[in-house]
Amino acid sequence: MALVLGAATAAQAEPLKLALVETLSGPQASTGLLYRDAVKYQIGKINEAGGFGGAPIELLEYDNQGGPVGAADRVRAAISDGADVILQGSSSAVAGQVTEDVRKHNLRNPGDEVLYINLGSEAMELTGAKCHYYHFRTSPNAAIRVNTLLDGMSEAGVLGDKVYAMNQNYSWGIDVQDNTAAAADRLGFEMVEKTLHDVNKIQDFSPYVQRVQAAGADTVITGNWSNDLLLLMKAAGSAGLDVRFGTAFLDQPGNIGNAGAVAEGHFLSASFNPEVNPEKTDAFMEDYKSVTGHYPSYVEPTAVFGMMLLQGALKQVEPTEDGLNASDLAAALENASVETPMGTLSMRGADHQAILPMIVQEVSRNAKHKSDGTEFGFVPVKVISAADAEQPVQDSCQMKRPG
C-alpha cells in the first residue's frame, strides 16, 4: 500500500525536512534563538526560490535545553519525525554529542542516512578525531579563529611580547589555548601563562585578573563567551590593567553595551563585519532586518552563509521518491562553494571544514555600525582571504567514505 502510494505521488515528493536542534530555553537560549532567526531567514529565501523538489522546505525545531543529554534525545526525536538534515551550532559540547549520534544512526541505517550541518560549534575534534562523512562544519574552527586573530593583531602591531591564554575548561577552550601556544614560535611571542577555568560559573574574575597582572601579560587571548568574557573584561578594566584582549565572541549582543568604554581597543576575529564589501553587505543587512526585525550580528551572518552553502548544494541534488537521498546531498556538499557578502565560502572535502574569509576587527568609536546603541562598534583591521585563513587538515581525521 505504502509503495503504491509512494509511486503515485512521486511527482510531488515528500518535503525536505530540516531539524534545528538548538538551545531554545534556559540560560544559554539567547544564542540558540539567534541561530533560529538565521536559519528561518535563509529557509525563507530558499522557499521563495521554489524550495526543494517543488515543495517548500519544512523547518522542525527541537529544544536541546543546553546540554548533550537533551540533544541526544532531541536528535532521536528529529530523526523519527523524518528529518533529513540536523542543524546545530551553539555549543561544542552539544555538537560532540550530535555528531556521534548522527554517525551511529548512519552506521545502523544504511540507505537512510541523516546529515549534520554544524553551523557554529568550533571545537577541533569535530573535524578531527570525531570527523565523519555526514558532518559538515560551515563555520570557522578554533585553529582558524586563533591564527587569524593572532596574525591580524601581530600585523597591526598590538600583539605584544607576552601573551596570556585564558579559557573555559572544555573542548573549545582547550583548543583555543593549544592553538595560541602553537603559534608562539611563528609569531615570536612568549606565552607567559595559561589558565582554564569553569564554564559560566564564576561571578568574580578579579582573582584571575590578578594572575594576568602578575604574569606581566600584554595581551590576553580568550575564547570565552557570554558572561565569562564580559566579566573577565570588566574585571580587567576596573583593575586598571593595561592589557589588550583578543577574542572570538566579543560581538555577542549586549557585550559592548555592558562593557562600554572598557571594550575599546580589544580585538575580535570573526567571519563577518558589516563594513566589509558594503555594496553587497548593506543589502544583506537591510534585508535581514526587514525579515527578522534586527540587523544580523554575532553567529547570525555565519549561520546564514552556512545555509546558503546548503542551498547551493541542494540545487545539485535530484529529489528522489521519498524526498532526498542524504548521500547525494553529502556528495554535493563536499565540493560546494557559495559567494557570500564576505567572499567565497567553500567546503573542504578532506575533513568537511568550511574555508572562509575572516575579518580581524577592533572595537572603536569610528565604526559605522554601532553595537547595542553605544558609540562603539567593530572596525575591520584586516580582511584575511579564505586561502590565507585556511588551516591544515588534522591527522586525526580518518574519514570513511561510502562505497
Partner 1 sequence: MPFFTEVSVDQILFALLNGTIYGLLLFMVSAGLTLIFGMMGVLNFAHASFYMLGAYFAYTLEPLTGFWMAIILAPILVAGIGILVERFILRHVHEHGHAHELLVTFGLAVVIAEIIKMVYGKFAVDYRVPVELNFAAFSLSGIDYPFYRLLMGGIAIVMFVAIYALLTKTRVGIVVRSAIYRPQMVEALGHNVPVVFMGVFGIGAALAGLAGAVAGAFYTTNPNMALELGVMVFVVVVVGGLGSMGGAMAASLLIGITNSLAVGSDFRIADLMAFVGMGGWADDIGGLLTMRMSSLAATLPFFIMLLVLVLRPSGLMGEKE
In the bound state with partner 1, the residue whose beta carbon lies nearer, of 107 and 214, is 214
Cβ distance to partner 1 smaller for residue 200 or 344:
200
Q: Which of residues 187-206 bind partner 1 (CB under 8 A)?
A: 195-198, 200-204, 206
**Is residue 67 within the footprint of partner 1 (CB under 8 A)?**
no
Using the Cα atoms of residue 252, residue 258, residue 261 and residue 263 in order, give the sign of their dihedral: negative
Is residue 161 within the footprint of partner 1 (CB under 8 A)? no
| Interface mask toward partner 1 for 111-150; x: CB under 8 A | ----------------------------------------
Of the pair 73, 375, the CB lying nearest partner 1 is at: 375
Q: How many CA atoms lie within 13 A of 187 on its CB side?
A: 27
Kindly list the distances between the CA atom of residue 204 and the CA atoms of 52, 61, 210, 219, in Å, as whole numbers in the listed order: 51, 36, 12, 20
Does residue 252 interact with partner 1 by CB under 8 A? yes
- DSSP class of residue 91? -
- The dihedral built from the CA positions of residue 128, 121, 28 and 249, taken in this order, carries a sign that is positive
Q: Distance between CA 48 and CA 259 in Å, rounded?
A: 40
26-34, 43-51, 105-113, 337-345 -> range binding partner 1 (CB under 8 A): 26-34
Name residues contacting partner 1, limited to 372-391 (CB under 8 A): 372-374
Nearest CB to partner 1, comparing residues 238 and 366: 238
**Range in contact with partner 1 (rule: CB under 8 A) among 103-111, 146-154, 211-219, 328-336:** 211-219
C-alpha grid cell for residue 391? 588551516
> Based on CB atoms, which residue is closest to partner 1, 46 or 259?
259
Residue 238 interacts with partner 1 (CB under 8 A)?
yes
Min dist. Cβ of residue 226 to partner 1 (A): 8
Q: What is the DSSP string of 221-276?
A: EE---THHHHHHHHHHHHTT---EEEESSTTSTTHHHHHGGGGTT-EEEES--TTS
Is residue 213 within the footprint of partner 1 (CB under 8 A)?
yes
Give me the DSSP letters along 146-188.
Answer: HHHHHHHHHHTT-S-SEEEEEEESSHHHHHHHHHHHHTHHHHT
Alpha carbons 171 and 3: distance in angstroms, whole number: 46
DSSP letters of 373-386?
TSS-EEEEEEEEPH
Distance of CA 81 to the CA centre of its chain: 26
Q: Is 293 among the residues that bind partner 1 (CB under 8 A)?
A: no
Residue from 214, 278, 366, 401 that binds partner 1 (CB under 8 A)?
214
Which residues would be at the binding site for partner 1 (CB under 8 A)?
27, 29-30, 33, 169, 195-198, 200-204, 206-211, 213-214, 227, 230-231, 234, 238-241, 252-255, 257-258, 260, 372-374
